[in-house]
Homo-oligomer: A and B are copies of this chain.
Amino acid sequence: MAVGPASFPDMPVIEGLRLGTARAGIKTAGRRDLVVIEVPQGATVAGTFTRNAFCAAPVSVAREHLASCRMRGEAPRYLVVNTGNANAGTGDIGLRDARDTCAELAHLAGVAANQVLPFSTGVIGETLPMERLLAGLPEALRGLDEGAEGWAAAGEGILTTDTRPKGASVTVRLGDETVTINGISKGSGMIKPNMATMLGFVATDAAIAPSLLDELLRETVARSFNCITVDGDTSTNDACMLIATGRGARVDDEHRLAVFRDALQGLMIELAQAIVRDGEGATKFVSLQVDGAVTREEALDVAFTVAHSPLVKTALAASDANWGRILAAVGRAPVEDFDVSRVTIDLGEVRLVEHGGCAAGYTEEAGSAVMAREEIAIRIALGRGERSATVWTTDLTREYVAINADYRS
């Protein structure tokens, strides 16, 4: 199940950026489960990672390698991703396995081990099948491809419980040049702010200074991947990487930066929303906008309290305009001195709540008509201040439970 049509664009080439995959049989034989991304020399790479205290071994190693490359003024040359096994909760063995993966790929490709960043996603708590994983690396390297097929195969190769690959591409003009941004993402369950079980790999041919690339990644992730939630769980493995090959136009003035930032933000939101649309068991795609908050943090708190409410989510699944559940969720959000009589709640174009109760003129028929849609917008105005936030989420269905009760069996 997923909301809306699947679409994976024909990705344009980003010169020097090549992607290869293999079927290593990490969890399931015959599945594309190993991805190698080759970063050309002279590129810049930025990364953001899970804040889960139990972060997975590959996250520790990727952070460490990225930092050591930065210190030496270099960039990572390879990213290696396996699915089917998260290499999380695996202690010292997990760290060794992540390092061994990097070492083997570095050996095969002729780079230093710390120029390889490892990523894993899948079941937590089982050690990697290293023999099969390492045996898959030559195949992935042989298949490195700069073109649309490379991107498409990689988009498929990073999936776990996802039902479809997620990709986005945008090309924008910077003066008389153009820059391209391509991205792929994965994630379907255990989705929540602060990098859930999601991986995002975004590459551009733009030339961007490292510190600016870091800032752009942080800013755009804050308003995309960190604003989605399927089930409120945050994984041990999440990462979003932004690669700038530097072979295209320079992002070196305010105007160019503004254009590039907008394009990147749009692409990040598209990739993040694609994860929600493919949320486990999802039948609805819900935009939750909170306005009139004192701070953006407060707006996010209210939005996520509603987005995580199982009662709101099951009402969405049932296309039931049970606005009382939305109101109850807003009311339990962590907001100080909350005057609920100023709150309004709109479902699409229909006003549900005002003056602390059901809006005058509201009819069940009008509410149900909006709830029946596949894409639903809920807007909550707090009447306290000027700040806003939007998060995206799904409904909670029997299928979500079925998927997660049966995942390992």
A interface with B by C-beta (< 8 Å): 51-55, 86, 88-94, 123-125, 189-190, 192, 194, 231-236, 308-311, 314-315, 317-318, 320, 322-325, 327-333, 335, 338, 340, 353, 355-358, 396-398, 400-402, 404-409
* Chain A interface, >50% SS class: loop
* A353 CB contact (under 8 Å) in B89, B235, B309: B89
7 further A-B pairs in the complex, CB-CB below 8 A; given A125-B322, A233-B309, A311-B404:
A53-B335, A54-B327, A88-B324, A91-B357, A233-B325, A236-B324, A318-B405
Chain B residue numbers with a CB within 8 Å of A309 are: 232-233
Q: Are B400 and A401 in contact (CB under 8 A)?
A: yes
Give Cα A124 to B91, complex, Å. 48
Give Cα A113 to B409, complex, Å. 60
Chain B residue numbers with a CB within 8 Å of A330 are: 53-54
Best-buried of A190, A310, A325 by chain B (most CB within 10 Å)? A310
Copies of this protein chain in the complex: 2
Given contacts A53-B332, A54-B331, A327-B89, contact A232 B310 (CB under 8 A): yes
Q: Are B398 and A328 in contact (CB under 8 A)?
A: no
* A235 CB contact (under 8 Å) in B93, B328, B357, B404: B328
* A340 CB contact (under 8 Å) in B53, B93, B356: B53
- Expressed in whole angstroms, the minimum distance between the Cβ of A341 and any Cβ of chain B is 9
* A358 CB contact (under 8 Å) in B90, B323, B401: B90
Give Cα A328 to B88, complex, Å. 9
- Expressed in whole angstroms, the minimum distance between the Cβ of A217 and any Cβ of chain B is 21
- Expressed in whole angstroms, the minimum distance between the Cβ of A174 and any Cβ of chain B is 39
Q: Are B356 and A91 in contact (CB under 8 A)?
A: yes
